[in-house]
Amino acid sequence: MTRGQTLLLGLGVFALGGVGYAAFRAAGLEGASAGIAAEALLILGVIAWTGSYLLRVVTGKMTFMEQRRQYRAAYDQQTTDELQKQFDALSPADQEALLREIGQLTDDTSGTGKQPVV
């Protein structure tokens, strides 16, 4: 949220208080009572908004966290694809040597026609 949007939001809440005051005055409440009722309504709105924010924080449903999860999933997929492409570009002997080096291929699977577990 930009600074301008924050100022507009604050102005909107201020205007909402004025509209609430006018609505309560039109409903028949006197000046102080209408002001208290409008203020109470705004306070309840702020408490509800704060509660929803805290709920999003606790459950991890914040915009930043969602963007981070999406970025990480895309990054992991791209990395996996790139590594697979590099592995596929190796000669079969180099692939076998690499699989032996990382422990994915043992001596008992070589020459038996069994495929290594990748």
Q: Domain ranges in the chain?
A: 1-60, 62-107
Q: Is the pLDDT of residue 57 over 90?
A: no
Q: What is the pLDDT of residue 63?
A: 85
Q: Is the pLDDT of residue 118 over 60?
A: no
| Residues 67-87 pLDDT 10s | 999 999 999 999 999 999 999
- ∠ Cα 76 77 81 (to 5°): 115
Higher-confidence residue: 28 or 107?
A: 28
Q: What is the pLDDT of residue 73?
A: 96
Q: Is the pLDDT of residue 18 over 60?
A: yes
pTM, rounded to two decimals = 0.52
